[in-house]
Amino acid sequence: MNSSVNYERQGEVALITLNNPPVNALGQAQREGLLRALHQAQIDTQAKVLVLLCSGRTFIAGADIKEFGKPPQAPSLPEVVNAYEQSDKPCVAVIHGTALGGGLEMALGCHYRIARRDAKVGLPEVKLGLLPGAGGTQRLPRLAGVAKALEMIVSGQPINALQAREHQIVDELFDGDPRAAGIAFAQRVLDSGLGVRRTGEQAAALKGVDNGALIAAKRADVAKRLPGFFSPPRCVAAVEAATLLPLVEGLQRERALFQECLASEQRAALVHGFFAERQCAHIDDLPKDTPVRVIERVGVIGGGTMGVGIALSFVSAGIAVMLMEVDEPALQRALQRARETCEASVARGSLSPAVMEQRLALLHGGVDYSELATADLVIEAVFESLEVKRQVFERLDQVCKPGAILASNTSSLDLDVIAGFTSRAEDVVGLHFFSPANVMRLLEVVRGRHTGLEVLATVMQLSKRLNKIAVVVGVCDGFVGNRMIFQYGREAEFLLEEGATPEQVDGALRNFGLAMGPNAMRDLSGLDIGWSIRQRQRATLPSNYPLPDVLDTLYAAGMLGQKTGQGFYCYAPGSRRPEPNPELLPLLEAVSREKGIERRALSDDYIVERCVFALINEGAKILQEGIARRSSDIDVIYLNGYGFAAWRGGPMFYADSLGLDNVLARIREFHQRFGAWWEPAPLLEQLAAEGRRFADWKLES
């Protein structure tokens, strides 16, 4: 018997237990094991009813994602599910933890399903660029109806056990031990003579509803909300098949659509994103058993944009925060801002008033640093000035208890210099949150030269409590995300001098898969911020690294973006919707004229190459310098912090999929034409020459 699937019998109940930690994913060995166990139950004359359950923390979390893109190995999952459905002895699936994707499909193939009260079920395949390919699109509508099936399959969001019972996806809920509950339920099936009940033969939920209208509405919704996505329209088509075709033909249609998704580039990109996100947590030189410090009391210094958002992230996770400001009025403003932010969530319906009060009760304020003496972690989020940070860290060094972690949210300053303001550099780490910090999931964990392993392990564990995705990065100006975005933004601005309009640049990049164009983004954050950074750069950059002049021109004209109602775009009072700025083109033309540039028509593809290849070239330098440890870490940063479309897989994955030799060839052309900014990264040259990908490269530590 396959070691990951165990068969045993208790009285008349055959127990088939899957044991494939950590999440009981179904690979080839498990599929084969499930079929063998089913066969054994069929020939076991004393077995009258079957129970399928899992050991460990969860029911089956789906097909083994690692197998996607490799040659298929029999038996397929649909074969296994169909075999269970066809069993002439009743089968009961016992769900605890999560039944996801192929896991829920296995359960739907069984004749009865019971779920532990805290379990969840879902079909998240769409998040991997797929659709449920083992009967989920045909069986779920037959139980839950088309509306619920479409909602679950197109969103990929799991539902809880109670909702699953309300929608007839499970028959009963239980508490406690899955095995005992499964045996008891199976015994009742036997005693009451319920017998076999095949999901594929059910039809009641499909009747008496205008399924065509539901399908048409979802199709329109997908086209509007998810442009560019490959699998969602196919999810809708597969569910439609359940309403039009008999089960066997519906399953064939589902399989064909599944295969199309499986072969798509988007599937490869989304699966890359799934593993990339999990890979971030693995740090080669950080032993798994590194001790972690207890973090229960947190101090946040500075109650501005970031400090308030950071404080809210902690209180949302149930961790008490002491927020420090310069004086009482500034403190009251910060606490008021925290309350208003929560109230806005209540108004939107994403937070209940009671939970808001619970969270705010965990938020305290102060102006006296001695109140931080008992804090386990203090995060500094004061002005971006080394001098101000020096004062803060010197003071923290005096008041904080030994072993307290001292973190900075700096977005560009040298963390090692900041650590040097204290006598405990091993306790200093960067925690670079993204704005709004209570919403954005990305966290760049900046590892300084002296940051201790215990400190690193503690903040990585803490990030999970905060529901953040933490990526470890090294010290440099802008770390990974902002250092790369600078290159991208500069090219976007040069393109305006060469002949493009903001609408064209933003449109091209949005169509490529960025959530927002660079010009609209600048209007949002305020052109004065970009302008002051630009002044510093002008003072320090060598002359062969020229900078564009558009930003300076707009700044001089008082067009600072949304805050002045005019920037790259115009904004009606109170509106954030960008409208064309009629005064902009003459300004752009004047800049071009002054620099002797003849404005020309630029294609959208060219715009994308200039901006995205600038990201990639800098990403390659960052990799080689060891600022990021692997290319997938860079992708995670771009997917979660910069609105890079999940179906593109991130800039480094995109480069790999184009072929690094192709990327390098274009970068060399740009280098010849535009000079030093485009000097190809040596790592890109090396990997392209060796026919390798960024994904193959690893920094030797």
Catalytic residue at 497?
A: no
Say which entry of ligand 3HC, ligand NAI, none residue 303 contacts (CB below 5 to 8 A, set by partner kind): ligand NAI
Quick one: 89 or 234, whose CB is closer to ligand 3HC? 234
388 binds, among ligand NAI, ligand 3HC, none (CB under 5 to 8 A by kind): ligand NAI
- Spatial separation of the C-alpha atoms in residues 374 and 372, rounded to whole Å: 6
Near ligand NAI by CB under 6 A: residue from 4, 266, 409, 553: 409
Chosen residue from 90, 109, 132, 567 binding ligand 3HC by CB under 6 A: 132
Indicate which of ligand 3HC, ligand NAI, none lies near residue 326 (CB less than 5 to 8 Å, by partner kind). ligand NAI
544: which DSSP letter?
T
- Record the tokens describing residue 438, joined without a space: 């209570």
Amino acid at 439: V
Check if 519 is active-site: no
Q: Is the peptide bond before 90 cis (omega within 30 degrees of 0)?
A: no
- Best CA proximity match to 486, nearest among 438, 433, 545: 545
Pairing of strands 469-473, 442-446: parallel
Q: Which of residues 579-618 bind ligand NAI (CB under 6 A)?
A: none
In the residue annotation, 444 being an active-site residue is answered as yes
The reply on whether position 242 binds ligand 3HC by CB under 6 A is no
Does residue 145 bind ligand 3HC (CB under 6 A)?
Answer: no
Rounded alpha-carbon distances, angstroms, from residue 666 to 103, 131, 609, 621: 45, 36, 8, 17
User: Choosing from 240, 277, 325, 444, which is the catalytic residue?
Assistant: 444
The correct pick among 98, 138, 345, 487 for binding ligand 3HC (CB under 6 A) is 98
**CA–CA distances in Å: residue 209 to residues 118, 215, 479:** 31, 11, 55
Point out the catalytic residue in the list 316, 432, 519, 640. Answer: 432
User: Which is catalytic among the residues 4, 482, 592, 631?
Assistant: 482
Phi, psi for 539 (deg, rounded to 5):
-75, -20
Contact between 178 and ligand NAI per CB under 6 A: no
Burial 644-662 (b: 16+ CB within 10 A, else e): bbbbbbbbbbbbbeeebee
Sort 263 into a burial class: Cβ within 10 Å, 0-12 / 13-18 / 19+.
exposed
For ligand NAI, the binding residues in 330-369 under the rule CB under 6 A are 330
Which entry of ligand NAI, ligand 3HC, none binds 77, CB below 5 to 8 A by partner kind? ligand 3HC
Query: Under the criterion CB under 6 A, does residue 499 sit at the interface with ligand NAI?
Result: no
The entry of ligand 3HC, ligand NAI, none near residue 325 (CB within 5 to 8 angstroms by kind) is: ligand NAI
Site for ligand 3HC in 40-69 (CB under 6 A): 61-66
235 binds, among ligand NAI, ligand 3HC, none (CB under 5 to 8 A by kind): none
Round to whole Å and give the CA distance between 383 and 409: 10
Q: Alpha-carbon distance 479 to 410, whole Å?
A: 10
Among 80, 115, 128, 146, binds ligand 3HC (CB under 6 A): 128
Give whichever of 303 and 548 is closer to ligand NAI, judged by the CB atom. 303
The side-by-side arrangement of strands in the sheet containing 120-122 is 98-100, 120-122, 159-160
635 binding ligand 3HC? (CB under 6 A)? no
Interface region with ligand NAI, contact rule CB under 6 A, candidates 140-148, 343-351, 426-434, 485-493: 426-434
Report if residue 386 touches ligand NAI, rule: CB under 6 A: no
Does the footprint of ligand NAI cover residue 457 (CB under 6 A)? no
CB 224, min distance to ligand 3HC, A: 25
- Sole window of 109-117, 132-140, 233-241, 370-378 interacting with ligand 3HC (rule: CB under 6 A): 132-140
545 binds ligand NAI (CB under 6 A): no
Question: Is residue 109 within the footprint of ligand 3HC (CB under 6 A)?
Answer: no
DSSP 680: P
Q: What are phi and psi of 16, to 5 degrees?
A: -110, 115
Among 213, 388, 515, 556, binds ligand NAI (CB under 6 A): 388
- Asked if 324 interacts with ligand NAI (CB under 6 A), we say yes
Handedness of CA 511, 512, 513, 519 (dihedral sign): negative
Tally Cβ neighbours within 10 Å of residue 192: 8
The distance of closest approach from Cβ of residue 181 to ligand 3HC in the complex, given in angstroms and rounded to an integer, is: 21
303 binds ligand NAI (CB under 6 A): yes
- Is 625 among the residues known to form the active site? no
Shorter beta-carbon distance to ligand 3HC: residue 120 or 359 = 120
Q: What is the smallest separation between the CB atom of 36 and ligand 3HC, expressed in angstroms?
A: 20
- When binding is defined by CB under 6 A, the residue of 307, 448, 481, 513 that contacts ligand NAI is 307
Pick 80 or 400: Cβ nearer ligand 3HC:
80
The H-assigned helical ranges of 349-452 are: 353-361, 386-399, 415-419
- Residue 472's closest CA among 423, 522, 420, 432? 432
In the bound complex, what is the minimum distance in angstroms from residue 50's beta carbon to ligand 3HC?
Answer: 22
Dihedral (C-alpha) 173, 176, 179, 184: value to the nearest 10 degrees? -60
Count CB atoms within 10 A of the CB of residue 173.
Answer: 18
Q: Is 429 in the site for ligand NAI (CB under 6 A)?
A: no
Residue 283: which region, alpha, beta or left (left: phi > 0; alpha: psi -120 to 50)?
beta
Out of 200, 232, 302, 452, name the contact with ligand NAI by CB under 6 A: 302
- Kindly give the pairing relationship between strand 579-580 and strand 320-324: unpaired
Q: Among 369, 374, 375, 443, which residue's Cα sits nearest to residue 409? A: 443
Part in contact with ligand NAI (CB under 6 A); list of ranges 267-275, 377-385, 516-524, 632-640:
377-385
Residue choice 64, 325, 549, 609 for contact with ligand NAI (CB under 6 A):
325
Is residue 33 near ligand 3HC by the rule CB under 6 A? no
The neighbouring-strand residues paired with 579 are 570
- Separation between Cα atoms, residue 218 and residue 151, nearest integer Å: 9
Q: Candidates 398, 435, 537, 603: give the one binding ligand NAI (CB under 6 A).
A: 435
- Asked if residues 607 and 508 have their Cβ atoms less than 8 Å apart, the reply is yes
Phi then psi for 20, rounded to 5 degrees? -135, 80
CA-to-CA separations, 672 to 107, 350, 360, 666, 669, in angstroms, rounded: 60, 52, 57, 10, 5
Report what 278 binds from ligand NAI, ligand 3HC, none; CB cut-off 5-8 Å by kind.
ligand 3HC
The only residue of 33, 90, 101, 513 in contact with ligand 3HC, by rule CB under 6 A? 101
> What is the spatial distance between Cα 205 and Cα 169, in angstroms, rounded to a whole number?
11
Which run of H or of E encompasses 114? Answer: strand 112-116
DSSP 667: H
- Residue 382 lies near ligand NAI (rule: CB under 6 A): yes
Backbone angle region of 314, left / alpha / beta, with phi > 0 → left and psi within -120 to 50 → alpha = alpha
Considering beta carbons, is residue 372 or 634 the nearer one to ligand NAI?
A: 372
Q: By CB under 6 A, name the binding residues for ligand NAI.
A: 301-307, 324-326, 330, 381-384, 388, 392, 409-411, 432-435
Q: By CB under 6 A, name the binding residues for ligand 3HC.
A: 22-23, 25, 61-66, 77, 98, 100-102, 105, 124-125, 128, 130, 132-134, 136, 275, 278
Among all residues, which ones are annotated catalytic? Answer: 411, 432, 444, 482
